[in-house]
Amino acid sequence: MRLTEGSAGARVLAFGGYQPAKVVTNDDLAATVDTNDEWIRSRVGIASRRIAGPDETVADMAVAAGGKALAASGLSPRDIDLVIVATCTPEVQIPNTAATVARRLGIAAPGAYDMNAACAGFCYALASAADAVRTGTAGNVLVIGSEKLSQWIDWTDRSTCIIFADGAGAAVVGPADDPAEAGIGPVVWGSAGDMADKIYIKDRDSFIFQEGQAVFRWATTALHPVAKQACERAGVEPAELAAFVPHQANLRIVEAIARKLGAPQALVADDIVTAGNTSSASIPLALSRMLERGEIPSGAPVLLLGFGAGICYAGQVITVP
Amino acid sequence: MAMTDQEILTGLGEIIDEVAGVPADQVTPDKTFVDDLDIDSLSMVEIAVAAQDKFGVEIPDDQLKDLKTVQDVIDYVRKSSVSA
């Protein structure tokens, strides 16, 4: 039996992001729940977030972000042979979002699967995409994080309705035959199943629940060792990082982990300010916008760190296109 | 490890400066976290975690909410160190 042969490494060829048109400000929320702009900004860091239209789906947003990434990659749809969508909020159980996205983007007959690791989803999916390319299972992979959390929110619950939002982000992953070009480092992933009761959606008729303080304590203590391990596995010193792009759960969590990382020179993503917490979309959405604004030089090393319900987490260093 | 109140206060001042950006010399025993030092419950969690690293004393979330002043934390750390 033959084993596949792939490439020495894998790298991200392009990113793309999509935010729904509707902007919801803190003042908008203060009109219906007991909260205010100042409290939200200081506690969570959000100034505004985007909410998808009532008929706008996870697949719609995935197609938008995926299409942008594909266009920016210089590849054509026929070059993609695997589509992975990280999502925990699909409206449709079957068929999966990935097969739908592939059809709508004109990608013929790729492997297609959805995966759910909540807010760690993009980093998990990216790791799997990189593995597929390196082992030769796939030539080029379209990886998308897309979430419509708004359909799971209790809009009278001020502990959640101020945080979660909608959006999508995507990356095209291709081969890097020269190890020097290799741009996706080894993933460090894991889970803390004992924290399962801290973030959950119980069933299809329930809202999202989060025990914020417990999650804050866990995230600000358990994750910086994972971050450092991801750097170590990639052979990159934290002090060499151009940017740190963790899941945009809460700006206070982001800043607390950044303080412990030992990368004072790294640009710390704060996309949550105008995006909210978009779960698996947050990392690729943040990256697509940071790159659009020219904030990270091409080829520079960036640490990604996803974490969310499970609790599941995953981090890896990548070089940006 | 028997620490004096002054040693605990100094250590706390360093932690609060780092976590919340409040200068250590403003951290005096009588000050309340919320009103005097403008420190909210999320920063209290960070302070509790840093205090665990520095003093070896664990402050769980349900105990944390009762610690209103700097002196409350000093007393908690001192009592917990003695019984450790």
Structural domain boundaries in chain A: 9-179, 181-319
Tens-place pLDDT, residues B34-43: 999 999 999 9
* Domain A181-319 indexed as CATH 3.40.50.300: no
CA neighbor of A303 nearest in space, from A321, A316, A312: A316
| Cβ contacts of B27 within 8 Å, gap of 6 or more | B9, B12, B13, B16, B17, B37, B70
User: What is the C-alpha to C-alpha distance for residues A86 and A98, in angstroms, rounded to an integer?
Assistant: 9
Please, what is the average pLDDT of chain A?
Answer: 96
- Verify whether the Cβ–Cβ distance A252 to B42 is below 8 Å: yes
Tens-place pLDDT, residues A81-114: 999 999 999 999 999 999 999 999 999 999 999 9
Please, what is the average pLDDT of chain B?
Answer: 91
Shortest alpha-carbon distance between residue A284 and chain B (Å): 27
User: What is the C-alpha to C-alpha distance for residues A313 and A122, in angstroms, rounded to an integer?
Assistant: 10
Coil, strand or helix: which one is B53?
A: helix
Supply the pTM of this predicted model: 0.95
Question: What residues of A are annotated to the active site?
Answer: 119, 247, 277
- Verify whether the Cβ–Cβ distance A220 to B45 is below 8 Å: yes
> Listing from the earlier edge strand, what are the strands of the sheet with A111-115?
A9-18, A166-176, A141-148, A82-86, A111-115
- Verify whether the Cβ–Cβ distance A213 to B42 is below 8 Å: yes
Q: Which residues of B touch A221 (CB under 8 A)?
A: 49
Q: Which residues of B touch A213 (CB under 8 A)?
A: 41-42, 45, 61
Q: Which residues of B touch A43 (CB under 8 A)?
A: 40, 42
Burial of B79 (0-12, 13-18, 19+ CB in 10 A): exposed
Query: What is the CATH code of the structural domain delimited by B5-83?
Result: 1.10.1200.10
Tens-place pLDDT, residues A218-230: 999 999 999 999 9
- Verify whether the Cβ–Cβ distance B18 to A259 is below 8 Å: yes
Instruction: Report yes or no: A36 at the B interface, CB cutoff 8 Å.
Output: no
Which pLDDT score is estimated for A296? 97
- Verify whether the Cβ–Cβ distance B41 to A213 is below 8 Å: yes
- A229 φ/ψ sector (left φ>0, alpha ψ -120 to 50, else beta): alpha
Which pLDDT score is estimated for A52? 98
Shortest alpha-carbon distance between residue A293 and chain B (Å): 30
Which pLDDT score is estimated for A179? 74
Interface-testing mutation among A162, A198, A216, with chain B (most B C-beta atoms within 10 A): A216
Q: Do domains A9-179 and A181-319 have the same CATH topology?
A: yes
**Nearest CB neighbour to B46, from listed A42, A43, A256:** A256
CA neighbor of A286 nearest in space, from A34, A25, A22, A65: A65
Question: Would you place residue A15 in the very low, low, confident or very high pLDDT band (cuts 50, 70, 90)?
Answer: very high
- Contacts of A132-135 with CB under 8 Å at 24 or more apart are A132/A82, A133/A6, A133/A7, A133/A10, A133/A173, A133/A174, A133/A175, A134/A6, A134/A7, A134/A8, A134/A9, A134/A10, A134/A175, A135/A4, A135/A6
Question: Mean per-residue pLDDT for A234-247?
Answer: 97
Residue A245's beta-bridge partner residues? Answer: A304
Q: Where are the domains of chain B?
A: 5-83
A259 and A317 Cβ atoms separated by less than 8 Å: no
CA neighbor of B59 nearest in space, from B47, B43, B71: B47
User: What is the C-alpha to C-alpha distance for residues A286 and A165, in angstroms, rounded to an integer?
Assistant: 14
- Verify whether the Cβ–Cβ distance A43 to B42 is below 8 Å: yes
Interface-testing mutation among A252, A254, A260, with chain B (most B C-beta atoms within 10 A): A252
Tens-place pLDDT, residues A161-205: 999 999 999 999 999 988 777 799 999 999 999 999 999 999 999
Which pLDDT score is estimated for B84? 52
Distance from first CA to last CA of chain A, Å, rounded?
36
Instruction: Report yes or no: A103 at the B interface, CB cutoff 8 Å.
Output: no
Query: Residue A247 pLDDT more than 60?
Result: yes
User: What is the C-alpha to C-alpha distance for residues A125 and A93, in angstroms, rounded to an integer?
Assistant: 19
Q: Which residue of A lies nearest to B52 if distances are taken between CA atoms?
A: A221
Shortest alpha-carbon distance between residue B5 and chain A (Å): 26
For domain A9-179, give the fold. Answer: Peroxisomal Thiolase; Chain A, domain 1 (3.40.47)
Write the single-letter amino acid at A119: C
Interface-testing mutation among B15, B42, B44, B47, with chain A (most A C-beta atoms within 10 A): B42
Query: Residue B1 pLDDT more than 60?
Result: no
> Per the structure block, which two tokens stand in for A146?
């897309």
User: What is the C-alpha to C-alpha distance for residues A177 and A196, in angstroms, rounded to an integer?
Assistant: 40
Q: Which residues of A touch B45 (CB under 8 A)?
A: 213, 216-217, 220
